[in-house]
């Protein structure tokens, strides 16, 4: 594995805690040996040290219409970051800003891989008590999907699982309302038939394991779980909400009495690593798959640590030739 020669372009203006936490995260990544270029308004970026800046005078707001914003704000930090990748000035882009606008910028400027109907958001899912992570896609890019898109999600998800988590032979499951083949909506049933075909599995080096259910998202039934973007986003937010609620309840219980606090102190060394697997800051963002470049979407409230981790994931995917691997799995020649 070689280090990327080109810097990762970081949208310095996107996110609830931009630009301070974004810049701080960039400095952490640089300290880890990852080259970074910040994209944004130089006069608003403090403490950048020696980090190069690509100037961008406009900022797409978190609640702005994605497509219209990318059209109208051609000098926005998001658009300029995507152009940096397109033009060979950066190896990848990272943003904690408007997710829809990030997708639109990357799609319109970097372009889709030929044959990809629509890019998908691939989100790592923690497996409590394990260092492994499952991959869920599409986690929200496409509310409505065709059965054929599910196969593309499976292909791209398998490659992502390999390049990101080193899973040599990913198992791909189809999210449904029952394990049995034939369970699910008409769309899911059609997708099942297409996913059961061995051709894509051989090309992607993956195995379709059939239907999986919501309870398997953080389990060991499949490494990659495919679904449409609406269902995926609901599932993701549900999992996040449940994890947060359980952690909050546990913290409350640990503070309920002197005995409980003493017990918590004894358990802390074993519980903290478990908490770390659930901490969103450690995830390293979600990847937008199906584009001609690497694009990592970090959570809107990303801290410096979250930004650093997202940059590290971007660099790792570049170093692992992720886009070339996607092309091979999808049967697409290089440009």
Partner 1 sequence: MPAETHVEQGPLDRAAIVTLVQERLAEILEIEPDAISEGDSFADDLDADSLALIELVEAIEEELSERSVGFRIDDEDLEDLKTVRDAVDYVHGRLG
Q: Applying CB under 8 A, which part among 30-38, 68-76, 278-286, 295-303 lies near partner 1?
A: 68-76
Which residues are within 8 A (CB) of 90 and not within 5 positions of it... i.e. 6 or more apart?
6, 7, 8, 9, 37, 81, 84
Q: Applying CB under 8 A, which part among 17-25, 104-112, 226-234, 246-254 lies near partner 1?
A: 104-112
Q: Please identify, using beta-carbon distances, which residue of 71 and 248 lies nearer to partner 1.
A: 71
Q: Which of 31, 42, 71, 129 binds partner 1 (CB under 8 A)?
A: 71
- Number of amino acids touching partner 1 (CB under 8 A): 12
Q: Applying CB under 8 A, which part among 110-118, 169-177, 249-257, 274-282 lies near partner 1?
A: 110-118
Longest CA–CA span in the chain (Å) reads 65
How far is CA 284 from each of CA 89, 142, 168, 201, 307, rounded to the nearest angstrom?
22, 22, 20, 27, 7
Q: Applying CB under 8 A, which part among 84-92, 111-119, 123-131, 157-165 lies near partner 1?
A: 111-119
Which residues are within 8 A (CB) of 256 and not within 5 positions of it... i.e. 6 or more apart?
none
Q: How far apart are CA 211 and CA 98, in angstroms?
A: 32
Q: Which of 54, 78, 84, 104 binds partner 1 (CB under 8 A)?
A: 104
Token pair recorded at residue 29 = 């990544």
Residue 74: other Cβ atoms inside 10 A? 12
Q: Is 331 in the site for partner 1 (CB under 8 A)?
A: no
Q: Applying CB under 8 A, which part among 61-69, 157-165, 170-178, 223-231 lies near partner 1?
A: 61-69
For the sheet with 224-226, list strands across it: 52-55, 36-40, 8-11, 92-95, 294-297, 286-289, 120-126, 133-137, 224-226, 171-175, 207-212
Q: Is 64 in the site for partner 1 (CB under 8 A)?
A: no
Site string for partner 1, 11-50 (x = CB under 8 A): ----------------------------------------
Cα-Cα-Cα-Cα torsion 159, 164, 166, 170, nearest 10 degrees, comes to -40
Q: Is 115 in the site for partner 1 (CB under 8 A)?
A: yes
How far is CA 199 from each of CA 22, 194, 222, 308, rounded to the nearest angstrom?
43, 10, 19, 38
**Whether residue 19 has a cis bond before it, omega within 30° of 0:** yes
| Shortest Å, Cβ 78 to partner 1 | 14
Q: Is 68 in the site for partner 1 (CB under 8 A)?
A: yes
Q: How far apart are CA 90 and CA 82, in angstroms?
A: 9
Q: Please identify, using beta-carbon distances, which residue of 108 and 274 lies nearer to partner 1.
A: 108
| Shortest Å, Cβ 141 to partner 1 | 10
Q: Applying CB under 8 A, which part among 44-52, 103-111, 264-272, 301-309 lies near partner 1?
A: 103-111
Q: Is 256 in the site for partner 1 (CB under 8 A)?
A: no
Q: Please identify, using beta-carbon distances, which residue of 109 and 164 lies nearer to partner 1.
A: 109
Site of interaction with partner 1 (CB under 8 A): 66-68, 70-72, 104, 107-108, 115-117
């Amino acid at each position: 594995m070689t280090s990327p020669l080109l810097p990762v372009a970081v949208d310095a203006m996107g996110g609830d805690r931009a630009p301070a936490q974004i810049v701080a995260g960039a400095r952490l990544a640089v300290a880890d040996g990852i080259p970074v270029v910040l994209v944004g308004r130089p006069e608003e970026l403090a403490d950048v040290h020696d980090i190069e800046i690509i100037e961008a005078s406009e900022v797409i707001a978190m609640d702005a219409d994605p497509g219209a914003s990318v059209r109208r704000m051609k000098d926005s930090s998001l658009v300029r970051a995507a152009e940096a990748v397109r033009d060979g000035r950066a190896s990848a882009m990272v943003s904690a800003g408007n997710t829809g606008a990030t997708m639109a910028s990357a799609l319109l400027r970097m372009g889709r891989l030929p044959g990809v109907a629509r890019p998908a958001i691939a989100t790592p899912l923690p497996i409590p008590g394990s260092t492994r992570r499952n991959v869920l896609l599409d986690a929200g890019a496409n509310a409505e999907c065709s059965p054929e898109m599910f196969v593309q999600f499976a292909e791209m998800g398998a490659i992502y699982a390999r390049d990101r988590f080193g899973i040599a032979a990913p198992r791909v499951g189809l999210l449904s309302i029952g394990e049995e083949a034939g369970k699910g909506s008409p769309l899911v049933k059609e997708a099942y038939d297409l996913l059961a075909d061995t051709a894509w599995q051989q090309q992607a080096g993956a195995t379709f394991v059939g239907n999986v259910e919501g309870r398997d998202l953080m389990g060991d039934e499949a490494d990659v779980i495919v679904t449409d973007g609406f269902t995926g986003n609901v599932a993701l937010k549900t999992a996040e909400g449940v994890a947060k609620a359980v952690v909050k309840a546990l913290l409350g219980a640990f503070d309920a009495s002197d005995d409980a606090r003493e017990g918590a102190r004894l358990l802390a060394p074993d519980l903290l690593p478990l908490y770390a697997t659930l901490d969103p800051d450690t995830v390293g963002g979600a990847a937008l798959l199906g584009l001609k470049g690497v694009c990592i979407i970090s959570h809107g409230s990303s801290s410096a640590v979250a930004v650093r981790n997202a940059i590290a994931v971007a660099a790792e995917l570049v170093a692992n030739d992720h886009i070339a691997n996607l092309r091979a799995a999808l049967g697409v020649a290089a440009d």
